[in-house]
Structure 1
Amino acid sequence: YGRLGLIANVALLANVALIIAVLSVLGATLTLPGIAGIVLTMGMAVDSNVIIFERVREENRQGRSIVQSMDSGFKQALATVVDANVTTLIAAVILFFLGSGPIKGFAVTLAIGIVTTVFTAFTLTRWLVAFWLRRQRPKAMPSGVMRLVPDDTRVPFMAFRKYAFTLSLLLSIASAVLFFTVGMNYGIDFRGGSSIEVQAKGQQADIGDIRQRLTGLELGEVQVQEFGSTRDVLIRIGTQGGGDIAEQSAVEKVRSALDTDYEFRRIEVVGPTVSSELAFNGTMGVLASLLAMLVYIWIRFEWQFGLGAIISTFHDVILMVGFYVVAGIEFNLTSIAAILTIVGYSINDTVVVYDRVRENLRRYKRMPIAELLDLSMNQTLARTVLTGVTTLFALAALSIWGGEVIQSFTVAMIFGILAGTYSSIFVAGPLLILFKLRPGALSPEEAAAAKEPPAQQAL
């Protein structure tokens, strides 16, 4: 996007700074679920700016001046950005009330990020664009070094819908079968175990040294992570085979290995009852979020859109579960945060596509639904690809430089982003054909909106 891309980067940095500032004021601790919330927020912030700038380019290609294109682009993109962010905000609110500690942290970070994203996109970005227009007075739209997707693509996505449905059905069935036969590699959060909080007597805890000391104790699964200050460390030990006596023995071994350099602040055993409650709360949070988003999309669009969005999102969740089983990655509370992130990303992706489908339903009343969906997918293809690529860049950086603790988490999210991008095109779109959606099938309010001048229509 050239200069516009530079403006978007400034707005993105401001967005992240605002999130961290608000979290600091609230005294919140940044954990893996919180990082997941920030990653999703970054993706949505990039997405908001891409939606706006793609709209600006469309308006400019129709012969409008740069100033007119900017003004119309921001207005046309407003409804899409709000719809996409409100659906995710609904999920964040429900997760906050139904989830446990780490999931609550994810929900808080995500909710703050949604508010700051909409604020920076339509205040800071717009102000910077206006400042650039007044100062530089450009005669032509700025262009970047390269374009990932050319203008006016004509990919026949709907021609592949039968193959896509078959592939998705086979993968979903395989994931379900593997889940019930092979099972998941559940972590301490779900299988139970001991949780120990220690604080370094010196200036800073050495996570690598602690992990090395505990590895030689042969305690089975051991997790070590920093939380709070740089002196505080959380140690989790998997359930021992000999009951309470074995659990106490494991704790004493840890105490003997670390007592000289660390002060033990808290020790607790996570029993099977607590573990089942965590699993139940996490599952109910995901299901309640999907239901609430279904209701919102149903109200804002039509029932076909709401049902299509939820089915495609549920498809992504099933594939994520299958990936955890096949890859053997440990499934714990941070894994639920990864799934919640993908739910938010997928629903955001789908709503953006559906918003364009709704607009085209108003504009092309006699166009066959398959052609209309192809047109809508191609019109939003640049935005879909660019948002996915930028989010994958952020996750790849976390995977490479984030250390072994966060690597499995980011790898799972990378798979989820790819699945979410696939489903928004090859699952969510074709479902509208399956549900017999036809041009002219909009509600009376939508039909009345179609009679308004194009400049006054929302997306």
Structure 2
Amino acid sequence: MLNSSPLRAALIVIVALAGILFTLPNFVAPATLNSLPDWMPKKQIVLGLDLQGGSHLLLEVNREEIVSERVKELRREARSILANDNGIGHLIKTDEAKLTIELTDKENLETALNALQELDVPLSQSLGGVGGIDEMIINQTPDQLITIELTEEGISERLSSVVAQSIEVVRRRVDELGTTEPTIQRQGNDRILVQVPGFDDSERLKDVISKTARLTFHMVHPTMSAAQAKIQGLPDGTMILPSQDGGEELVFEEVAIGGESLVDSQPGFDAQNSSPIVTFRFDTRGGVKFAEITANNIGKRFAVVLDNQVITAPVINSAIPGGSGQIFGNFTAESANDLAVLLRAGALPATLDIIEERSVGPSLGADSVAAGETAGVVGGILVIIFMVVAYGTFGVFANISLLLNITLILGTLSLLGATLTLPGIAGIVLTIGMAVDANVLIYERIREEKRAGRGAIQAIEAGFQRAFTTILDANVTTLIAAAILFFLGSGPIRGFAVTLAIGIITTLFTAYVLTQFMISRWYARRRPKELKIALLKVWPENFNFEFMNLRKLAYTFSAVLVVGSLALFGAKGLNLGIDFKGGSAIEVQSIEGPADIAELREIVGALDLGDVQVQEFGSDIDVLIRVETQPGGDVAQQEAVTKVIEAVEAVGYDRRRSEVVGPTVSGELAQTGTLAVVAAIVAVLAYIWMRFEWQFAIGAVAALVHDVLLTIGLFALTGLEFNLASIAAILTIVGYSLNDTVVIYDRVRENLRKYRKMSIPELLNMSVNQTLSRTILTSITTLLALGALVVFGGEVIRSFTIAMAWGVLVGTYSTIFVASPLLINFNLTSRKEAAPKEERRADGASV
């Protein structure tokens, strides 16, 4: 070991330089970065919306509208085929995704069936694909009716195609707004995620994105008004549409000309009164048709319809050649520009409902970055000081590894172009606390080998060798929790999972490879007579406590805590955030002086929005307003948020962030969060069962369930908000608790091989005492980092960090007093009666 491999030295230097090179662009001004040579890395960490401000929208294609529009289209086509092409009299009824056709003459049934078969074109062919999915089923009923029913597969395929088309339209619209680096991607079969950094005018973004912008031109009925049609009945082929001025118009259903023929649209001003207008221009084919329509209908009214609302309906005074025209309406300069953007980008093929909205102002993002940096610096300094105090020179080695570890995390995030969120910063700070765990394991093992009589070189070698398996097992279990968080989480929670996972991998490299290299080089150069690892004895070396004698008392204490937690959960429930119950949350900040909570309650209460909570949020100038889920669906929820923001801005408050989560999303998040916790526990059960024995797996899972229930009890007792971040905290607690448990279990497994005749209670006591100093030291470093997060991390993640700090405490307790003594109850054998073959195998495995 003293003769460290040059290859290892080269590997460390290459990795360290790469980490520094990929990290440096984050600390360089953009102008300087652009002047650097092309071969140098220039990627920077992408800040999440919660750190740089911006808007997040989750859009869902309106499935009912897709079905309804398709059924209407089929009805028109079926009527045309039967009446116009074949002269067959009929009556058509619609029922959701089904058409029922009754023929006036049953003799034409066979002819009608054959004629209608031309409607049944395989959907993927009609949409440009290969092969085919039957979109509909055409049948004859026993009472000689014809039914045309859309299939689920056909609806899903059409829905998928509409989403693909909508993504392109949304992308063109967002690009027209001049935003930088927007994220527009598909989620599932019917959703689109839109994230626009630095654009915090969420109202305008929603208007631009969610409007269908389906522009059509219809002739207005020449002799009957909408009011008369309501009394006398609608003439065939007509419909009543609302107009922008508050009235209604009776127009023909047939689209005289569609917006798909538009090639350009620009905002402008009327030459006569300088009011804002929107000009448009058709392509050649559309221009010819527009000229024909206007020439043939002089003196009649021509309606310009946008999303089923009549914008204007002027009288055609003369033919309009050239294919261009103007749209007049009650426009402002901004709304005229936005409408021009919508028309240029093209119409959405279907309505997009906003089912989740999150908006963060730039000032809050800057504050979050500052809070995260402060928490990271304070947490890092505390951990560094503690390691030097605890381990002296060896603590310096651990701190060097820690600094490189952080550099590698930042460099990897830059290389991957990963998004750093506020929970992601929390993941880095947590890594600072947990990263030293591997060093502590190694150092404590070296001290133990030295106490056993080994020489310095042998103690160092044995310490690294025997600690490696423990380090690997402990970190793999945490990595499992991080992986499940990533695949089942969303948004900032995935950012936390990414930083946690990267931190685990870099920790394995820095704590084992780098630390081993530094210690070996230091020892080869200094050759100290006395290998002094501990500078300050945090825990007595010869401490020996009979923990297993307290197991019944511990079981009783834990049972009381678990029952109490369940009782609190049943009686008080959890203070569910909008992630899980839906609704809206708006954070505002007083412009001048402390916020007047009573005044805000009165103002918001007068809006008649149901259950509204107004409370201080951190400092005395910050206020959090929560609005319950509104009847009327997602649109009503959006309107409620707009009302609240307008009301509070009018009395001197700035909106810092807003979140709107519809009931559909909240139900899915609750289900996904529960699934994540269960999946993590099952995955860990399988891993530990594979690595150890079934008793160990059951004991570890029992301790996990204990920790999760106590954490839920904490949320119920304190009223801390339980949201998606809380699920991340619980999964992190699962990982940390497992980390602790695996360390002791690994020592139990080793001692089982060495002391086959020792009773299990004695062996467990010895194993817990042997690893106790490591358990205490790791808990202290992790709590130091988490303490900095609790104090300096900001109000947004306070419940998240408090829950993790609590989890460290209960995880440490459950490892010693739950997971370990349960091995006795599960009849773990000491192997003193093992078969000779097993004994020989155990002897060969001992070290």
TM-score norm. by structure 1 comes to 0.86
Residue 163 (structure 1) aligned to one of 553, 556, 559? 553
SS of residue in 2 equivalent to 1:276? helix
CA offset at residue 28 of structure 1?
3.0
Which letter does structure 2 place at the counterpart of 1:342?
A: I
Match of 1:200 in 2: none
Aligned: 1:76 with 2:466: yes
Aligned: 1:269 with 2:660: yes
CA offset at residue 242 of structure 1?
6.6
Which letter does structure 2 place at the counterpart of 1:450?
A: A
Once the two structures are superposed, what CA deviation does each residue of 1:141-179 show, in whole Å capped at 9, x if it has no partner? 224442121112210100100000011111111111211
Match of 2:676 in 1: 285
Q: How far apart, CA to CA, are the structure 2 residues paired with 1:442 and 1:101?
A: 52
Once the two structures are superposed, what CA deviation does each residue of 1:373-399 show, in whole Å capped at 9, x if it has no partner? 000000000000000011111111222
Once the two structures are superposed, what CA deviation does each residue of 1:210-262 show, in whole Å capped at 9, x if it has no partner? 9977966445457999xxxxxxxxx9853266755575143244257569x99
Once the two structures are superposed, what CA deviation does each residue of 1:272-311 show, in whole Å capped at 9, x if it has no partner? 2211111111110111011011101001100000110011
Residue 417 (structure 2) aligned to one of 24, 27, 48? 27
CA offset at residue 91 of structure 1?
2.2
Which letter does structure 2 place at the counterpart of 1:434?
A: N
Q: How far apart, CA to CA, are the structure 2 residues paired with 1:128 and 1:223?
A: 53
Q: How far apart, CA to CA, are the structure 2 residues paired with 1:412 and 1:76?
A: 33
Aligned: 1:372 with 2:740: no
CA offset at residue 134 of structure 1?
2.1
Once the two structures are superposed, what CA deviation does each residue of 1:351-373 show, in whole Å capped at 9, x if it has no partner? 00000000000111111100100
Match of 1:305 in 2: 696
- Cα 1:66–1:314, aligned 2, differ >3 Å: closer, same or farther? same
Q: How far apart, CA to CA, are the structure 2 residues paired with 1:211 and 1:18?
A: 43
C-alpha contact 2:423 2:797 (8 A) present in aligned 1? no
Worse-matched range after superposition: 207-216 or 324-333: 207-216
Residue 94 (structure 1) aligned to one of 484, 487, 493? 484
C-alpha contact 2:733 2:804 (8 A) present in aligned 1? yes
Which letter does structure 1 place at the counterpart of 2:843?
A: K
Match of 1:344 in 2: 735
SS of residue in 1 equivalent to 2:821? helix
Match of 1:185 in 2: 575
C-alpha contact 1:37 1:341 (8 A) present in aligned 2? no
Q: How far apart, CA to CA, are the structure 1 residues paired with 2:781 and 2:404?
A: 17
Which letter does structure 2 place at the counterpart of 1:358?
A: R
Worse-matched range after superposition: 31-40 or 97-106: 31-40
Q: How far apart, CA to CA, are the structure 2 residues paired with 1:138 and 1:121?
A: 22
- Cα 1:269–1:351, aligned 2, differ >3 Å: closer, same or farther? same
Match of 1:18 in 2: 408
Aligned: 1:119 with 2:509: yes
Which letter does structure 2 place at the counterpart of 1:146?
A: L
Q: How far apart, CA to CA, are the structure 1 residues paired with 2:764 and 2:781?
A: 25
CA offset at residue 19 of structure 1?
1.2
Match of 1:419 in 2: 810
- Cα 1:84–1:442, aligned 2, differ >3 Å: closer, same or farther? farther
Q: How far apart, CA to CA, are the structure 1 residues paired with 2:539 and 2:424?
A: 32
Match of 1:451 in 2: 843
Q: How far apart, CA to CA, are the structure 2 residues paired with 1:453 and 1:217?
A: 70
Match of 2:795 in 1: 404
Worse-matched range after superposition: 445-454 or 44-53: 445-454
- Cα 1:376–1:336, aligned 2, differ >3 Å: closer, same or farther? same
Q: How far apart, CA to CA, are the structure 2 residues paired with 1:265 and 1:319?
A: 33
C-alpha contact 1:214 1:254 (8 A) present in aligned 2? no
Aligned identity (percent) is 54
Q: How far apart, CA to CA, are the structure 2 residues paired with 1:192 and 1:416?
A: 27
Q: How far apart, CA to CA, are the structure 1 residues paired with 2:614 and 2:417?
A: 28
Match of 1:383 in 2: 774
Q: How far apart, CA to CA, are the structure 2 residues paired with 1:380 and 1:429?
A: 12
- Cα 1:210–1:18, aligned 2, differ >3 Å: closer, same or farther? farther
- Cα 1:174–1:264, aligned 2, differ >3 Å: closer, same or farther? closer
**1:133-212 mapped onto 2 (5 Å cutoff):** 133-194=523-584
Which letter does structure 2 place at the counterpart of 1:325?
A: A
SS of residue in 1 equivalent to 2:797? helix
Worse-matched range after superposition: 174-183 or 142-151: 142-151
Once the two structures are superposed, what CA deviation does each residue of 1:118-150 show, in whole Å capped at 9, x if it has no partner? 111111111111121122221112244421211
SS of residue in 1 equivalent to 2:814? helix
Match of 1:232 in 2: none
Which letter does structure 1 place at the counterpart of 2:414?
A: S
Match of 2:170 in 1: none
C-alpha contact 2:547 2:765 (8 A) present in aligned 1? yes
Residue 822 (structure 2) aligned to one of 431, 444, 447? 431
Match of 1:331 in 2: 722
Q: How far apart, CA to CA, are the structure 1 residues paired with 2:800 and 2:673?
A: 17
C-alpha contact 1:196 1:264 (8 A) present in aligned 2? yes
C-alpha contact 2:583 2:630 (8 A) present in aligned 1? no
- Cα 1:426–1:265, aligned 2, differ >3 Å: closer, same or farther? closer
Match of 1:239 in 2: 628
Aligned: 1:317 with 2:708: yes
C-alpha contact 1:56 1:72 (8 A) present in aligned 2? yes
C-alpha contact 2:590 2:654 (8 A) present in aligned 1? no
SS of residue in 2 equivalent to 1:269? strand
Unaligned runs of 5+ in 1: 198-205, 226-234
C-alpha contact 1:207 1:224 (8 A) present in aligned 2? no
CA offset at residue 27 of structure 1?
3.1
Once the two structures are superposed, what CA deviation does each residue of 1:188-217 show, in whole Å capped at 9, x if it has no partner? 2112123789xxxxxxxx978599779664
Q: How far apart, CA to CA, are the structure 2 residues paired with 1:398 and 1:361?
A: 40
Q: How far apart, CA to CA, are the structure 2 residues paired with 1:444 and 1:287?
A: 41
Aligned: 1:296 with 2:687: yes
- Cα 1:214–1:26, aligned 2, differ >3 Å: closer, same or farther? farther
- Cα 1:4–1:443, aligned 2, differ >3 Å: closer, same or farther? farther
The structure, 1 or 2, with the larger RCO (C-alpha pairs under 8 Å, 6+ apart) is: 1
Select the structure that is richer in helix: 1
Q: CA RMSD for the aligned pairs?
A: 3.2
Match of 2:264 in 1: none
Q: How far apart, CA to CA, are the structure 2 residues paired with 1:444 and 1:97?
A: 47
TM-score norm. by structure 2 comes to 0.48
Select the structure that is richer in strand: 2
Q: How far apart, CA to CA, are the structure 1 residues paired with 2:841 and 2:691?
A: 13
Which letter does structure 1 place at the counterpart of 2:793?
A: G
- Cα 1:173–1:453, aligned 2, differ >3 Å: closer, same or farther? closer
Residue 254 (structure 1) aligned to one of 645, 648, 653? 645
Worse-matched range after superposition: 325-334 or 24-33: 24-33
Match of 1:230 in 2: none
Worse-matched range after superposition: 352-361 or 442-451: 442-451
Q: How far apart, CA to CA, are the structure 1 residues paired with 2:769 and 2:505?
A: 29
C-alpha contact 1:239 1:247 (8 A) present in aligned 2? no
CA offset at residue 90 of structure 1?
1.9
C-alpha contact 1:11 1:125 (8 A) present in aligned 2? yes
Unaligned runs of 5+ in 2: 1-390, 605-611, 618-623
Which letter does structure 2 place at the counterpart of 1:452?
A: G
